[in-house]
Amino acid sequence: MISYQQRKQRRLLLLGVEKMDTLCRAMAVALLSANGCASTAGYRLSAAEPASSTIQTTRAVEPNIETLDALAAEIRNGQFGNTHALLVAHRGMLKYEAYFTGDDRIFGEGTERGWEDGWIRGVTFGPERLHDARSITKTVVATLVGIAIDEGYIPSAETSLVELLPRYQQLLEGRKRELRLKHLLSMTPGLEWSEANPNDDEGRMYASPDAVAFVLQRKLVAEPGKVFEYGGGTTHLLGAILEARTGKPIEDYAREKLFGPLGIERFEWRGDIGGMPAAASGLRLLPRDFIKLGLLFENEGRWEGKQIVSSQWLRQAMQPQAEAPLAPGAPVWAIRGGYGFQMWYDEYRTRLGPIQISTAVGLGGQRIFVVPKQDLVVVILSGHYRKPGTTWTPEQLFHRVVEALGYEPGTSVTD
């Protein structure tokens, strides 16, 4: 098995290659701009771009492009805060994308938990610029766990942590021996955890010499499987389990089993927690690659005729496995249905019934909205980091996209 030191050195080499690749691309964009080519800000496809040749539906409803253009104009005018990108896929096709100019911050750079420093001002976003996924990384890690189960590295979601983390058996005594993989996936391990302030448990975990031990040493305050408590510690344990069971660095396993099959070639997985990148929040992807992930989820794990992750796994991941509280300030038409496997579940009220939505959510307004029954995937990327009143801004924007498709809350969404 590759050592932490070898993995760290390899990651530094890869990061250097990625930075050089990014520099070359930036120079190319600058040359294009100098020759009068249009900026990518506000860019949208003039024709639908196939995202997967195997995703087909019979729905005839199409996005109203004029309505989406008007919405993009509102974003440029600041009505949705510091929004960076809006992408809409419908019926398996990328139908619309728009990019904007705003302020950004990158995971792990600047004074990450000071929040007044570390900003990059006046960034022009576009399809070739990597963007923080933040906690959408958690959804990716859960997907990798599903693949590892498919491949036999992990027996099932019912497997105990005692079996999965044998090095830490001494920390899994008493009621902690009841902890199962499914409790980490649904964030219901019952361990004491708080992410409410800059000196929270996640920050302390990052600074710990042994992050796995730090998480497992938390006091058990609830019966496993009974109480939802959002926390990056569970995802770090998932990452550690993946590396221990597959014998591969998590980013290599992702490249081989998930990103490669999806055609995701450029990505960064930032952070260094005991030699492993931040499993809870360290990914950076291109905007259209967020859409690819959403389409994979919508299509029950299939991509171009190949089953990347089992449909059974994704059905579990995208359905509520735990009750989760509704965040303050929720619109009247939004109902928090619960939390799946490192993914949120929502229902939006309508006159004849609810729209079911599975959402990968990241700090700062990063979203992948997946609405399988409406054949809809919407990606919103933003920079709403620690900005009061912006918790539900992506959902408000998504609501407007739904209107453009004719699925306005208060009206029928059924055929």
Task: Check residue 300 and give its pLDDT.
Answer: 96
Per-residue pLDDT averaged across 58-80, rounded?
83
Higher pLDDT: 56 or 281? It is 281
pLDDT confidence of residue 22 = 40
348-355 average pLDDT score: 66
- Residue 333 confidence class, pLDDT cut points 50, 70, 90: confident
**pLDDT confidence of 34, banded at 50, 70, 90?**
very low
Q: Output b/e per residue, 102-131; b: 16+ Cβ within 10 A.
A: bebbbbbeeebeeeeebbeeebebbeebbb
Average pLDDT rounded to a whole number, residues 307-330:
92
Residue 414 binned pLDDT confidence (cut-offs 50, 70, 90): very low
In order, the DSSP letters of 49-68 are EES-TT----------HHHH
Q: In the predicted model, is pLDDT for residue 270 greater than 90?
A: yes
Phi-psi region at 122: left, alpha or beta (left = phi > 0; alpha = psi -120 to 50)? left
pTM equals: 0.86
Average pLDDT, the chain: 84
Q: What is the pLDDT of residue 1?
A: 42
Mean pLDDT of 3-13: 51
